[in-house]
Structure 1
Amino acid sequence: MKKLTFFAILLLMVAAGTVNAQMRRYPPPRRYPPARTTYRRPVDDFYRVKFGIVAGANISNIVNINNSNFNTNTIVGWNVGASLDIPIVRPLSFEGEVLFSQKGYKAYTADGDFTQRTNWIDVPLLAKIQLAPAFNLVVGPQISFLTSTQNTYRSGFNSVSEQIYTRDADGFNKSLVGGVIGVGIDLSPNVELRGRYTLDLQNNSSDGATYPDYRNQVFQVGLGFKF
């Protein structure tokens, strides 16, 4: 009886040692706490005053308001400047800009090709309406100040270019009022894709003539970077 008890105790000790060795060799897997997910609300920066830099391309020509059959070819220029966006009340804000803008047109005649390129300082004063979270409509007046005019004549292999800076030499109004309408798409909180159409609301002739009634029209596309 004593021998049986001794052997039973010995077997229990061996079994306990084996289990302990196995647990040391293969420890139980660690359990990590579940990952904590954080939810960030989108930032609503509508009521933040924003300064910006804008740049883009102009596709321009002139139109004759008195003659719908009159047409000229377009030329490509560029625009660059600064902007200021001031919120008023959702969805309305005020957007003012100061831009250097190239305009002009090209015409083909029997005597050759004529290209006129004019440089302006444009000051759009726009109402900006947020139609959707990333889509805006702009509309309003624009004041333009002429800085210089370049006329180029090409006939065959001959080319003559005339640069005009004198205020009264080119027969153009030096300041004009126009209209602007356009849209903006927010690619990110600080980057906007812009498209606009502008048309002078005044005859660009400085002699007061009402016929012909030539006016600049410009299609613009570009980017705005806001801070």
Structure 2
Amino acid sequence: MKKLLFMALCLFIAGEVSAQYYPQRPRRVMRRPPPPRYERRPYNDFYRPSFGVAVGANFSNTVDSYNADFSTSTIAGWHVGLTANFPVSRSFAFAPELLFSQKGYKAETTDGTFKQRTNYIDIPLLAKFRVVPGFNFLIGPQLTFQTSTRNIYEDGFNRIVETEYDNNGDKSIIAGVIGVGIDLTRNVELRARYNIDLDRNRTNGASLLPDYRNQVFQLGLGFKFD
């Protein structure tokens, strides 16, 4: 019995010595690779052409009416049309448009109140610069073609309406445009523009109205389709 206990004790001591002499290898922990990161594309996309539509309000008046007795005030109208964006570089694009636009003014004269509302086809040819992603600056010339004019005379007793149509399209004016665009989403843009005629809008020689230049503040939305 004593021999068996002695042998068991020897085997136990030998096992402990062996365990201390041969250290255990560290266990490898398998780590999962992190999920791939997807870059979010900015709203302002200058990398491919896009087309769209624009609609908004006009707040128009005149400057330099060339008659001290002819003081004008602002009237409201609207504009609607087609837009395009053709990228040239990473931060520059060519942005032509084709718009129907209402302009005009209101004047208080010695004979009463006079209001003129004129319809135009505007073709802005704009350079578009991306200042930061989602914010654009635009500048360029605009070709303007008058289509019709409506004059309203009111003296407190009578109201006279005269409408004139320009079927020849010969009343064309060059204007200048400056503005900004803010991308609300990838396909919706907030637009703010100011345009002013660079030439006088000359009336016919028999008219009592002085020559003038239109100035228009535009505020609207653009909807882009890739």
Shorter chain as denominator, the TM-score bin is: 0.7 to 0.9
Structure 2 unpaired stretches of 5+: 1-31
Q: Structure 1 residues 164, 66: CA separation in 2 closer, same or farther (over 3 Å shift)?
A: closer
Q: CA deviation at 1:112?
A: 1.2
* The one of 199, 219, 222 aligned to 2:220: 222
Aligned residue number for residue 188 of structure 2: 191
Q: Structure 1 residues 153, 226: CA separation in 2 closer, same or farther (over 3 Å shift)?
A: same
Aligned residue number for residue 171 of structure 2: 174
- Partner AA of 2:201 in structure 1: N
Q: 1 CA distance for matches of 2:125 and 2:167?
A: 25
Asked whether the equivalents of residues 173 and 204 of structure 1 are also in contact (C-alpha less than 8 Å), the reply is no
Q: 2 CA distance for matches of 1:112 and 1:213?
A: 19
- Partner AA of 2:184 in structure 1: L
Alpha-carbon displacement from aligned partner over 1:133-171 (angstroms, at most 9, x marks no partner): 011000000000000000001121421111111558xxx
Between stretches 151-160 and 77-86, larger displacement belongs to: 151-160
- Partner AA of 1:221 in structure 2: L
Q: 1 CA distance for matches of 2:139 and 2:67?
A: 26
Asked whether the equivalents of residues 56 and 220 of structure 1 are also in contact (C-alpha less than 8 Å), the reply is yes
Q: CA deviation at 1:108?
A: 1.0
Q: Structure 1 residues 73, 132: CA separation in 2 closer, same or farther (over 3 Å shift)?
A: same
Q: 1 CA distance for matches of 2:59 and 2:125?
A: 21
* The one of 24, 40, 43 aligned to 1:42: 40
Aligned residue number for residue 131 of structure 2: 131
Alpha-carbon displacement from aligned partner over 1:60-80 (angstroms, at most 9, x marks no partner): 011117679964111100000
Structure 1 stretches (4+) deviating beyond 4 angstroms?
65-70
Asked whether the equivalents of residues 181 and 189 of structure 2 are also in contact (C-alpha less than 8 Å), the reply is yes
Q: CA deviation at 1:55?
A: 0.4
Aligned residue number for residue 197 of structure 2: 200
Q: CA deviation at 1:43?
A: 1.7
SS in structure 2 of the partner of residue 42 of structure 1: coil
Q: Structure 1 residues 198, 69: CA separation in 2 closer, same or farther (over 3 Å shift)?
A: farther
Q: 2 CA distance for matches of 1:197 and 1:43?
A: 30
Matches of residues 155-170 of structure 1 in structure 2 within 5 Å?
155-166=155-166
Q: 2 CA distance for matches of 1:159 and 1:198?
A: 31
Structure 1 unpaired stretches of 5+: 1-33
Q: Structure 1 residues 52, 201: CA separation in 2 closer, same or farther (over 3 Å shift)?
A: same
Aligned residue number for residue 31 of structure 1: none
Q: Structure 1 residues 108, 221: CA separation in 2 closer, same or farther (over 3 Å shift)?
A: same
Aligned residue number for residue 8 of structure 2: none
Residue 147, structure 1, aligned to residue 147, structure 2: yes
SS in structure 1 of the partner of residue 184 of structure 2: strand
Please report the RMSD computed on the Cα atoms of aligned residues, expressed in angstroms. Answer: 2.6
Q: 2 CA distance for matches of 1:62 and 1:100?
A: 19
Q: 2 CA distance for matches of 1:166 and 1:142?
A: 19
TM-score by length of 1: 0.76
Q: CA deviation at 1:40?
A: 2.3
SS in structure 1 of the partner of residue 73 of structure 2: coil
SS in structure 2 of the partner of residue 188 of structure 1: coil
SS in structure 2 of the partner of residue 189 of structure 1: coil
Q: Structure 1 residues 202, 173: CA separation in 2 closer, same or farther (over 3 Å shift)?
A: farther
Q: Structure 1 residues 137, 67: CA separation in 2 closer, same or farther (over 3 Å shift)?
A: farther
Asked whether the equivalents of residues 173 and 206 of structure 1 are also in contact (C-alpha less than 8 Å), the reply is no
- Partner AA of 1:204 in structure 2: N
